[in-house]
Structure 1
Amino acid sequence: MKICIVTHKIRKGDGQGRVNYEIAMELIRRGHQLTLLASEVAPELAESISVDWVPIIVHKYPTEFIRNLVFAQKSARWLRDHRGELDIVKLNGAITGVNSDVNAVHFVHNSWWRSPVHISQEHRDLYGLYQWLYTGINSYWEKQAFRKSKVVVAVSTKVAEELINIGVDPRKIRVIANGVDLEEFTPGSIEREELGLPKNVTLAMFAGDIRISRKNLDTVLQALVKVPDLHLAVVGETKNSPYPKMVEKLQLGQRVHFLGYRRDMPLLQKAADFFVFPSRYEPFGLVVIEAMASGLPVITSKSTGAADLVTPACGIVLADCNDINSLAQSLELLKSDYQLRQKMGRAARAIAEQYSWKIMAQNYLDLFTEVIQNAQHSSYPYLSSSPRSMAVPCRTASPN
């Protein structure tokens, strides 16, 4: 197959970029030819004889909105000239204006635009207005892009529901969850002193952008007040974050440990007893499945897409991400029961092993093959249902 992937970045260290990186690497291993329309590509991909990288240079433009607009125009121009040479064109969202075979959706801007925790709700200024307009315009463009795609892939059932809510035909939607590196994220332990963390205490971990309220650290901190002796490690950039001051106000300074922005999450996970991430709006949440692969029980929320993967055996899904009491009960449960944590951690790892990057990439490859076969043998625009890509474990409610 000759496959074209259109996205801004294709490399590790970037959520959407990592997904496309893993798809690309698996396609190369299978002997397929790849064309990558992207601004940044991992060196090992750019140097591969199976890859034709078409650089879309946009870094000189001043704002993200303008950079995205220029990227869309340049990539669309190239695709119109070369579409006949390709078997599959895979996009992400409204990245370009050309029809696609597969559009993989990691974020639904219309849902984010209407969210009560949208940036414009927190910043009643020019920056907030810019973000409101940026999200609204992307929302409009996305609807057009989804309408022009043969298949729309959602990274979670949450995203699938959001796509249906904005008018995407359910028959076009597939759910393929993101994956995790099972060799990079593994169960284990580490001396906490090396990280400046206390030993001989129960330690929960939170990771995310703590400069905004969307990740919901404030609810975690308020719940922590109700759970004596539990410590919390927080991974995220503290500059311009309101939460260090909130910790002082809540008198949690002895129990909350800010680690800053880190790239060594596989190591940090080994220092924790369990992971907590009750995000207010999260289409997927790679940190959840990474914690599970690390053998950690997880507490998350129904508003987090990765909750699809969390069963009663491996964690807790809060029905209301802002329910301080329910979160406190969940924290207390895991803090006080070592045997339960061990049992849940083993179950979490077992579930994560069903979602390796290789399995995710295989699901995409199967979908590409099906799209091509459908185009060759039928004029019917929709594909048959695929239990393999749609199947996700059920969710579990929080304790009463």
Structure 2
Amino acid sequence: MRICFVTHKVIKGDGQGRVNYEVVTEALKKGHKVIIISSELSEDLMNQASVEWIKIKIPNLPTVLLRYQLFAIASAFSIWMRKSSIDLIVANGFITYARSDINCVHFVHSAWVRSEYHPFRQQKDIRTMYQFAYNRLNSVLERFALKRSRHIIAVSEQVKQELVYDARINEQLISVVHNGVDISEFYPKQISRTQYNLDEDTIYALFAGDLNSGTKNLDTVLQALREVDEVHLLVLGNAERSRYPKIAEQLGIGHRVHFLGYRKDISDIMSLADLFIFPSRYESFSLVILEAMASGLPVIMSNRCGVAELISEGAAVIMEDPDDKVGLVNVLTELVADPERLKTMAARAREEALKNHWGIMADKYMNIFKQTVNPLPAANKA
């Protein structure tokens, strides 16, 4: 089978790009020929004999919207030129004006523009107005793309429901395949804190995310931390233009909040922490939570994260309200006072992650690809 993947990135260091990478790798293992239409591709895939890379180089136009439109047009032309030699076209949301057979959805613009947490509803300025206009246009374009696709893969049940109720897609066309995690990269490691200038006897919580986005909800984490003196916080993410270092100082906890910047050694940093805090206000899945669980970290998260669907009782604390500062204070206080519970949660978190590694995810994708190309006769579906 010749499978054409249309996406911006097929690389390991990106959430959606990593999913694409793992599915492409699995397709190659199963002997399929792969055409990749993208702007970025992992070097190890470039050298594969069964991979044809059509690189779409986009000029540095003033907005993401213009760059993505140019990509959509160029990718559609590339598909049209090779249409007779392609058995299956796999796309990510609205990314091309060409029809797709499989559309893998990681984010639903139609749902996001209606969300109470959209930046435009929090603060109205030129930047958030642009974001709202961008999301609004993409909600129209994603419906256009999804309505023309034969089958849709959602990364969580949450995304599936958004596709049904916000994008108005027939739920019978949607399969849910949760993202995976690299259990060989993320696992409980023994790393000395002293080499990172951290105290061996201090309790460290970890937060990781976009520090210029209020959606990740570091605000509530910092406010709760002020009430729990014995906990320090490690923060992963580029803080150069972030308001959070100043907020930490204003709250009087600057000495207990360690901004580590953007790091590539995330799996090592996770092994320095005692627990992971991520009460995000909206996540279609949240791969970082699964990575923390694979690293053997107890997790405090909100029920607005799609990954919550995978977690059984005892593997994490799931908050009903991401903005419940008092609830977060109580959970932190209870966990810090109960080392045995932390240990049990850590073990269960690792067990949950082992059930959701990349190989399991990629195999599910390949089964859907096969069924789409060779559908069962109607009589056999029952």
User: Could you tell me the TM-score, scaled by structure 1's length?
Assistant: 0.92
Amino acid of the residue matched to residue 102 of structure 1?
I
Partner of 1:323: 324
Partner of 1:358: 359
* Partners of 1:23 and 1:361 within 8 A in 2: yes
CA separation of 1:44/1:384 partners in 2, compared to 1, >3 Å: closer, same or farther?
farther
* Partners of 1:218 and 1:243 within 8 A in 2: yes
1:158 maps to 2:180: no
| In structure 2, distance between residues paired with 1:183 and 1:128 | 39
| In structure 2, distance between residues paired with 1:128 and 1:225 | 30
| In structure 1, distance between residues paired with 2:229 and 2:381 | 53
1:123 Cα deviation (Å)?
Answer: 4.7
Partner of 1:311: 312
Listed as ranges, the matches of 1:42-191 within 5 Å are 42-166=42-166, 167-191=168-192
| In structure 2, distance between residues paired with 1:334 and 1:189 | 21
SS in 2 for 1:149: coil
Which string of whole-angstrom CA distances, capped at 9 and with x for unpartnered residues, describes residues 273-313 of structure 1?
11010101111111100000001111111111111122222
Which string of whole-angstrom CA distances, capped at 9 and with x for unpartnered residues, describes residues 89-140 of structure 1?
1100000122211111111112222223323235533222211111110111
1:384 Cα deviation (Å)?
Answer: 5.9
1:225 Cα deviation (Å)?
Answer: 1.9
Which structure 1 segments of 5+ residues have no match? 386-400
| In structure 1, distance between residues paired with 2:103 and 2:148 | 9
SS in 1 for 2:355: helix
* Partners of 1:197 and 1:257 within 8 A in 2: no
SS in 1 for 2:374: helix
| In structure 1, distance between residues paired with 2:20 and 2:241 | 31
Which structure 2 segments of 5+ residues have no match? none
Which string of whole-angstrom CA distances, capped at 9 and with x for unpartnered residues, describes residues 117-169 of structure 1?
32323553322221111111011100111111111111111111111112111
Listed as ranges, the matches of 1:1-400 within 5 Å are 1-166=1-166, 167-374=168-375, 377=377
User: Could you tell me the TM-score, scaled by structure 2's length?
Assistant: 0.96
SS in 1 for 2:254: coil
Which string of whole-angstrom CA distances, capped at 9 and with x for unpartnered residues, describes residues 324-368 of structure 1?
111112212221211111111111111101111111110100110
Give percent identity, aligned residues only.
Answer: 41
CA separation of 1:334/1:197 partners in 2, compared to 1, >3 Å: closer, same or farther?
same
* Partners of 1:285 and 1:305 within 8 A in 2: yes
| In structure 2, distance between residues paired with 1:339 and 1:347 | 12
| In structure 2, distance between residues paired with 1:295 and 1:234 | 18
* Partners of 1:310 and 1:317 within 8 A in 2: no
1:62 Cα deviation (Å)?
Answer: 3.0
1:84 Cα deviation (Å)?
Answer: 2.9
CA separation of 1:73/1:255 partners in 2, compared to 1, >3 Å: closer, same or farther?
same
1:377 Cα deviation (Å)?
Answer: 4.1
* Partners of 1:229 and 1:255 within 8 A in 2: no
SS in 1 for 2:318: strand
Amino acid of the residue matched to residue 180 of structure 1?
V
1:201 Cα deviation (Å)?
Answer: 1.5
1:59 Cα deviation (Å)?
Answer: 3.4
Partner of 1:396: none
Which string of whole-angstrom CA distances, capped at 9 and with x for unpartnered residues, describes residues 231-288 of structure 1?
1111111112111111111111232111111111100011011101010111111110
1:218 Cα deviation (Å)?
Answer: 0.4
